[in-house]
Amino acid sequence: MNFIKKIIQSRSKDDEIFFAEIQKVLGYKPNKLRHYKKAFTHSSLKKTASDGKPLNYERLEFLGDAILGAVIAHFLFKKLPMGTEGYLTQMRSKIVSREHLNEIGRDLDLIRFVISNVPKKNFGDNIHGNVFEALIGAIFLDKGYKYAVRFIYRVVIEPYVDIERLEGKITSYKSLLIEWSQKQKRKVKYDVYEDTGNDTSKHFSVKLYLDDDIISKGRATSKKKAEEIASKRAYYRLQSQIALQ
């Protein structure tokens, strides 16, 4: 007991505040706070351990992504005994899509924990999903797989996973649009160009052509996201035609 008291007393005031806040998110007391602190350390700080290894959330993000995918796959395997491999893969992709993970990360307000040399207003949307995955990796290292499973069920599966709703959810408007155009023998073209404008960070703009006509535009911090934005706008413009295929 005295040993535990010494550990608690050795924490800085900032660590005590972080411990209390992260405990609310986790639903339990963390053992090794360093894993959770690392989960919110941005690479822009260029922090390294004594052995020279980088101290940021990127490797934890990789680990958390793998654990999340495994837990969701196991859940779907049990929940949908008649589901084919292709169907199960599609459903898993919808649950662990970047858009969905960003939504969960925002709901948990994980960005408040991030320490970085980059102003938070300059972060892209993916920071929310990235640190969420890193947090799962930290849970696994600190408490093991069972705790990671409990956390994923509590914050992902129970509040967000509705099979019927997910069956109708579109995960890629670009893929849907291209598939539709191929069936209709129509040509879709994306004209992407760099468009920094007045922003400090690099942006890309895209013009989406259907045959020879521009039907939508998109702008974002990556080519992929700009294309998806333009595709989503095109989808809603063409929705009545697409629904008739």
Largest CA distance in the chain: 76
For residue 235, give both structure tokens: 């989808």
Same domain, 20 and 116: yes
| Domain boundary, last residue among 167, 201, 220 | 167
Same domain, 160 and 190: no
| Domain boundary, last residue among 141, 167, 193 | 167
> Tens digit of pLDDT for each residue in 29-87?
999 999 999 999 998 888 888 888 888 899 999 999 999 999 999 999 999 998 888 88
Same domain, 153 and 99: yes
Which residue range forms the structural domain that includes residue 49? Answer: 12-167
Contacts of 22 (CB under 8 A, 6+ apart): 30, 33, 36, 113
Same domain, 101 and 186: no
Which CATH number characterizes residue 199's domain? Answer: 3.30.160.20
Residue 149 within any structural domain of the chain: yes
Q: Which single residue is written with the structure tokens 């960003």?
A: 102
Same domain, 113 and 159: yes
The pLDDT assigned to 245 comes to 55
| Domain boundary, last residue among 117, 147, 167 | 167
Q: Is 21 annotated in the active site?
A: no
The number of folded domains in the chain is: 2
Give me the DSSP letters along 160-187: H--HHHHHT--S-HHHHHHHHHHHTT--
* Segment 218-225 long-range contacts (CB within 8 Å, at least 24 positions apart): 219/195, 221/124, 222/124, 223/192, 225/124
Residue 51 within any structural domain of the chain: yes
Q: Which of 15, 51, 65, 107 is catalytic?
A: 65
Same domain, 28 and 79: yes
Same domain, 196 and 136: no
Expressed in angstroms, the distance from the first to the final Cα of the chain is 69
CB 193 within 8 A of CB 204: yes
Q: Which of 21, 99, 133, 164 is catalytic?
A: 133
The pLDDT assigned to 128 comes to 95
Q: Is 133 annotated in the active site?
A: yes
Residue 150 within any structural domain of the chain: yes
Range 211-225 average pLDDT = 89
Same domain, 163 and 70: yes
> Tens digit of pLDDT for each residue in 86-145?
888 888 988 998 888 999 999 999 999 999 998 888 888 899 999 999 999 999 999 999
Output the pTM of the full model: 0.69
Distance of CA 112 to the CA centre of its chain: 16
Residue 4 within any structural domain of the chain: no
Q: Which single residue is written with the structure tokens 């990235």?
A: 130
The pLDDT assigned to 135 comes to 98
Same domain, 185 and 96: no
Q: How far apart are CA 200 and CA 192, in angstroms?
A: 19
Which CATH number characterizes residue 154's domain? Answer: 1.10.1520.10
Residue 125 within any structural domain of the chain: yes
